[in-house]
Amino acid sequence: MVRVMGVVNLTPDSFSDGGRFLAPDAALAHARALVAAGADILDLGAESTRPGATPVSADDEIARLVPLIEAIRAESAVTISVDTMKSQVARAAMAAGADIWNDVTALGFSDESPATAAELGCGVVLMHMQGEPRTMQAHPSYDDVVAEVAAFLNVRAEVAMAAGVARDKIWLDPGIGFGKRLEHNLALLAHMDLLVALGFPVLLGVSRKRFIAALDPAAEPAEARGPGSLAAALAGVQAGVAALRVHDVAETVQALKVWAAISRAR
Protein backbone atom coordinates (compact mmCIF):
# COMPACT_ATOMS: atom_id res chain seq x y z
CA MET A 1 0.00 0.00 0.00
CA VAL A 2 1.29 3.45 -0.89
CA ARG A 3 2.00 5.50 2.21
CA VAL A 4 0.62 8.98 2.68
CA MET A 5 2.84 11.68 4.18
CA GLY A 6 0.82 14.70 5.32
CA VAL A 7 2.48 18.12 5.32
CA VAL A 8 2.46 20.19 8.52
CA ASN A 9 3.96 23.62 7.97
CA LEU A 10 5.49 25.61 10.79
CA THR A 11 6.74 28.28 8.44
CA PRO A 12 5.29 31.74 7.92
CA ASP A 13 6.01 31.64 4.17
CA SER A 14 5.73 28.18 2.65
CA PHE A 15 4.57 27.60 -0.95
CA SER A 16 1.03 26.68 -0.47
CA ASP A 17 -0.68 27.52 2.77
CA GLY A 18 0.86 30.89 3.59
CA GLY A 19 1.90 29.85 7.09
CA ARG A 20 -1.58 29.16 8.38
CA PHE A 21 -0.07 26.57 10.70
CA LEU A 22 2.65 28.62 12.33
CA ALA A 23 0.98 28.80 15.75
CA PRO A 24 1.89 25.69 17.80
CA ASP A 25 -1.70 24.89 18.78
CA ALA A 26 -2.89 25.22 15.21
CA ALA A 27 -0.02 23.00 14.02
CA LEU A 28 -0.90 20.30 16.57
CA ALA A 29 -4.57 20.48 15.61
CA HIS A 30 -3.60 20.17 11.95
CA ALA A 31 -1.31 17.21 12.69
CA ARG A 32 -4.18 15.47 14.54
CA ALA A 33 -6.56 16.10 11.66
CA LEU A 34 -4.09 14.63 9.16
CA VAL A 35 -3.64 11.49 11.27
CA ALA A 36 -7.42 11.15 11.59
CA ALA A 37 -7.70 11.50 7.81
CA GLY A 38 -5.32 8.57 7.33
CA ALA A 39 -1.80 9.98 7.15
CA ASP A 40 0.85 7.30 7.78
CA ILE A 41 3.62 9.88 8.15
CA LEU A 42 3.63 13.55 9.16
CA ASP A 43 6.24 15.79 7.54
CA LEU A 44 6.99 18.76 9.78
CA GLY A 45 8.79 21.71 8.22
CA ALA A 46 9.97 24.90 9.91
CA GLU A 47 12.01 26.39 7.06
CA SER A 48 10.40 27.16 3.73
CA THR A 49 12.26 26.11 0.59
CA ARG A 50 10.28 28.55 -1.50
CA PRO A 51 12.34 30.77 -3.85
CA GLY A 52 13.12 33.96 -1.94
CA ALA A 53 12.03 32.65 1.45
CA THR A 54 13.78 34.06 4.49
CA PRO A 55 16.35 31.66 5.94
CA VAL A 56 15.60 30.35 9.43
CA SER A 57 18.35 29.71 12.00
CA ALA A 58 18.87 26.21 13.40
CA ASP A 59 17.83 27.46 16.84
CA ASP A 60 14.57 28.86 15.48
CA GLU A 61 13.84 25.66 13.57
CA ILE A 62 14.46 23.61 16.69
CA ALA A 63 12.32 25.94 18.81
CA ARG A 64 9.43 25.52 16.37
CA LEU A 65 9.79 21.78 15.78
CA VAL A 66 10.69 20.15 19.07
CA PRO A 67 7.59 21.13 21.09
CA LEU A 68 5.36 19.92 18.25
CA ILE A 69 7.23 16.62 17.87
CA GLU A 70 6.95 16.02 21.62
CA ALA A 71 3.26 16.87 21.63
CA ILE A 72 2.51 14.52 18.71
CA ARG A 73 4.67 11.76 20.19
CA ALA A 74 2.86 12.07 23.53
CA GLU A 75 -0.40 10.99 21.92
CA SER A 76 0.43 9.07 18.72
CA ALA A 77 2.79 6.50 17.25
CA VAL A 78 2.49 8.05 13.78
CA THR A 79 5.77 8.18 11.87
CA ILE A 80 7.24 11.68 12.11
CA SER A 81 9.43 13.14 9.39
CA VAL A 82 11.27 16.44 9.68
CA ASP A 83 11.92 18.58 6.62
CA THR A 84 15.27 20.24 7.31
CA MET A 85 18.69 20.68 5.70
CA LYS A 86 20.49 21.17 9.00
CA SER A 87 22.12 18.30 10.88
CA GLN A 88 21.70 20.08 14.27
CA VAL A 89 17.97 20.31 13.61
CA ALA A 90 17.76 16.65 12.56
CA ARG A 91 19.63 15.68 15.71
CA ALA A 92 17.26 17.63 17.99
CA ALA A 93 14.22 16.34 16.13
CA MET A 94 15.22 12.67 16.40
CA ALA A 95 15.99 13.16 20.11
CA ALA A 96 12.44 14.53 20.53
CA GLY A 97 10.92 11.45 18.86
CA ALA A 98 11.02 11.98 15.10
CA ASP A 99 11.78 9.04 12.80
CA ILE A 100 12.77 10.38 9.38
CA TRP A 101 15.10 13.14 8.16
CA ASN A 102 13.60 14.60 4.99
CA ASP A 103 16.46 16.54 3.41
CA VAL A 104 15.86 18.54 0.20
CA THR A 105 19.66 18.77 -0.15
CA ALA A 106 20.10 14.96 -0.03
CA LEU A 107 22.51 15.27 2.94
CA GLY A 108 24.54 17.80 0.97
CA PHE A 109 24.02 20.98 2.98
CA SER A 110 26.97 20.34 5.27
CA ASP A 111 29.88 17.91 5.33
CA GLU A 112 28.71 16.29 8.55
CA SER A 113 25.20 15.50 7.30
CA PRO A 114 25.83 11.93 6.03
CA ALA A 115 27.65 10.88 9.22
CA THR A 116 24.95 12.50 11.36
CA ALA A 117 22.24 10.58 9.52
CA ALA A 118 24.20 7.35 10.07
CA GLU A 119 24.67 8.09 13.75
CA LEU A 120 20.99 8.94 14.26
CA GLY A 121 19.93 5.72 12.55
CA CYS A 122 16.82 7.46 11.25
CA GLY A 123 15.10 7.10 7.89
CA VAL A 124 16.52 9.53 5.33
CA VAL A 125 14.81 11.08 2.32
CA LEU A 126 17.36 12.09 -0.31
CA MET A 127 15.78 14.66 -2.63
CA HIS A 128 17.10 16.05 -5.91
CA MET A 129 17.35 19.80 -6.36
CA GLN A 130 19.23 21.73 -9.04
CA GLY A 131 20.80 24.82 -7.48
CA GLU A 132 19.62 26.24 -4.17
CA PRO A 133 16.14 27.28 -3.08
CA ARG A 134 16.71 31.03 -3.46
CA THR A 135 17.69 30.86 -7.14
CA MET A 136 16.71 27.37 -8.31
CA GLN A 137 13.90 28.47 -10.63
CA ALA A 138 16.02 31.11 -12.43
CA HIS A 139 17.63 28.90 -15.12
CA PRO A 140 16.92 25.19 -14.66
CA SER A 141 18.77 23.28 -17.36
CA TYR A 142 19.37 19.59 -18.13
CA ASP A 143 20.44 17.50 -21.13
CA ASP A 144 18.44 14.52 -19.88
CA VAL A 145 16.59 15.35 -16.70
CA VAL A 146 15.54 11.78 -15.87
CA ALA A 147 19.03 10.33 -16.30
CA GLU A 148 20.63 13.21 -14.39
CA VAL A 149 18.22 13.02 -11.46
CA ALA A 150 18.62 9.22 -11.31
CA ALA A 151 22.42 9.50 -11.40
CA PHE A 152 22.42 12.17 -8.67
CA LEU A 153 20.15 10.17 -6.38
CA ASN A 154 22.25 7.06 -6.92
CA VAL A 155 25.42 8.95 -5.97
CA ARG A 156 23.79 10.46 -2.88
CA ALA A 157 22.58 7.04 -1.78
CA GLU A 158 26.16 5.74 -2.19
CA VAL A 159 27.50 8.68 -0.18
CA ALA A 160 24.96 8.04 2.58
CA MET A 161 25.76 4.32 2.70
CA ALA A 162 29.52 4.99 2.64
CA ALA A 163 28.98 7.15 5.74
CA GLY A 164 27.14 4.29 7.43
CA VAL A 165 23.45 4.88 6.66
CA ALA A 166 21.76 1.49 6.31
CA ARG A 167 20.43 0.75 2.83
CA ASP A 168 16.92 0.08 4.16
CA LYS A 169 16.73 3.55 5.73
CA ILE A 170 17.07 5.37 2.41
CA TRP A 171 14.24 6.90 0.38
CA LEU A 172 14.70 8.78 -2.92
CA ASP A 173 12.69 11.78 -4.16
CA PRO A 174 12.91 13.45 -7.60
CA GLY A 175 12.21 16.89 -6.07
CA ILE A 176 9.39 17.98 -8.36
CA GLY A 177 9.60 21.78 -8.77
CA PHE A 178 13.09 22.12 -7.28
CA GLY A 179 15.15 23.68 -10.08
CA LYS A 180 12.86 22.27 -12.78
CA ARG A 181 10.75 23.73 -15.57
CA LEU A 182 7.38 22.29 -16.55
CA GLU A 183 8.92 19.95 -19.14
CA HIS A 184 11.41 18.63 -16.59
CA ASN A 185 8.66 17.91 -14.06
CA LEU A 186 6.59 16.17 -16.72
CA ALA A 187 9.52 14.05 -17.94
CA LEU A 188 10.22 12.93 -14.38
CA LEU A 189 6.56 12.08 -13.78
CA ALA A 190 6.33 10.23 -17.09
CA HIS A 191 9.46 8.18 -16.33
CA MET A 192 9.12 7.71 -12.58
CA ASP A 193 9.52 3.96 -13.16
CA LEU A 194 13.21 4.60 -13.94
CA LEU A 195 13.68 6.11 -10.48
CA VAL A 196 11.72 3.29 -8.84
CA ALA A 197 14.08 0.89 -10.65
CA LEU A 198 17.02 2.25 -8.63
CA GLY A 199 15.81 -0.11 -5.91
CA PHE A 200 14.94 2.31 -3.10
CA PRO A 201 11.46 3.39 -2.03
CA VAL A 202 10.53 6.61 -3.84
CA LEU A 203 8.71 9.50 -2.17
CA LEU A 204 6.88 11.82 -4.56
CA GLY A 205 5.86 15.39 -3.73
CA VAL A 206 3.54 16.93 -6.30
CA SER A 207 0.90 18.35 -4.00
CA ARG A 208 -0.23 21.89 -4.91
CA LYS A 209 2.94 22.53 -6.90
CA ARG A 210 3.25 25.32 -9.42
CA PHE A 211 3.53 23.05 -12.48
CA ILE A 212 -0.18 22.30 -12.01
CA ALA A 213 -0.99 25.98 -12.53
CA ALA A 214 1.27 25.99 -15.59
CA LEU A 215 -1.06 23.36 -17.07
CA ASP A 216 -4.29 24.96 -15.83
CA PRO A 217 -4.33 28.70 -15.19
CA ALA A 218 -7.52 28.18 -13.13
CA ALA A 219 -5.40 26.34 -10.53
CA GLU A 220 -4.79 29.48 -8.46
CA PRO A 221 -4.41 29.89 -5.54
CA ALA A 222 -2.43 26.81 -4.50
CA GLU A 223 -5.45 25.39 -2.64
CA ALA A 224 -7.18 25.05 -6.03
CA ARG A 225 -4.61 22.47 -7.21
CA GLY A 226 -6.14 19.44 -5.47
CA PRO A 227 -7.43 17.64 -8.59
CA GLY A 228 -4.17 18.18 -10.50
CA SER A 229 -2.24 17.00 -7.44
CA LEU A 230 -4.21 13.75 -7.41
CA ALA A 231 -3.73 13.18 -11.14
CA ALA A 232 0.05 13.57 -10.81
CA ALA A 233 0.15 11.48 -7.65
CA LEU A 234 -1.65 8.60 -9.36
CA ALA A 235 0.82 8.72 -12.26
CA GLY A 236 3.49 8.17 -9.63
CA VAL A 237 1.52 5.36 -8.00
CA GLN A 238 1.19 3.62 -11.35
CA ALA A 239 4.98 3.76 -11.70
CA GLY A 240 5.46 2.23 -8.26
CA VAL A 241 6.24 5.06 -5.85
CA ALA A 242 6.16 4.06 -2.19
CA ALA A 243 4.84 7.26 -0.64
CA LEU A 244 3.18 10.57 -1.50
CA ARG A 245 3.88 13.89 0.26
CA VAL A 246 0.53 15.69 0.28
CA HIS A 247 -1.49 18.49 1.83
CA ASP A 248 -4.90 16.95 1.14
CA VAL A 249 -4.66 13.68 3.04
CA ALA A 250 -8.33 12.62 3.05
CA GLU A 251 -8.67 13.19 -0.70
CA THR A 252 -5.44 11.29 -1.40
CA VAL A 253 -6.48 8.36 0.80
CA GLN A 254 -9.78 8.15 -1.08
CA ALA A 255 -8.04 8.23 -4.47
CA LEU A 256 -5.63 5.50 -3.34
CA LYS A 257 -8.50 3.28 -2.16
CA VAL A 258 -10.21 3.52 -5.54
CA TRP A 259 -6.90 2.96 -7.35
CA ALA A 260 -6.06 -0.09 -5.22
CA ALA A 261 -9.52 -1.60 -5.75
CA ILE A 262 -9.20 -1.24 -9.52
CA SER A 263 -5.71 -2.74 -9.41
CA ARG A 264 -7.01 -5.74 -7.44
CA ALA A 265 -9.81 -6.30 -9.97
CA ARG A 266 -7.34 -6.50 -12.86
Catalytic annotation, residues: 209, 245
Q: Is 244 in the site for ligand HH2 (CB under 6 A)?
A: no
Nearer to ligand HH2, 91 or 209 (CB): 209
Q: Is 21 in the site for ligand HH2 (CB under 6 A)?
A: no
Q: Which stretch binds ligand HH2 (CB under 6 A): 84-92, 115-123, 142-150, 173-181?
A: 173-181
Nearer to ligand HH2, 13 or 148 (CB): 13
Q: Is 173 in the site for ligand HH2 (CB under 6 A)?
A: yes
- First-residue to last-residue Cα distance in the chain: 16
- Cα–Cα distance for residue pair 103/97, rounded to 1 Å: 17
- Cα–Cα distance for residue pair 264/260, rounded to 1 Å: 6
Say how many residues touch ligand HH2, by CB under 6 A.
21
Nearer to ligand HH2, 48 or 87 (CB): 48
Single out the residue of 249, 265, 266 nearest to residue 2, CA to CA.
Answer: 249
Q: Is 48 in the site for ligand HH2 (CB under 6 A)?
A: yes
Q: Is 102 in the site for ligand HH2 (CB under 6 A)?
A: yes
Amino acid at 221: P
Residues 6+ apart with CB under 8 A from 26: 20
Q: Is 21 exposed, middle or buried (0-12, 13-18, 19+ CB in 10 A)?
A: buried
| Binding region for ligand HH2 (CB under 6 A) | 7, 9, 14-17, 45, 48-50, 83, 102, 104, 125, 127, 173, 175-176, 203, 205, 245
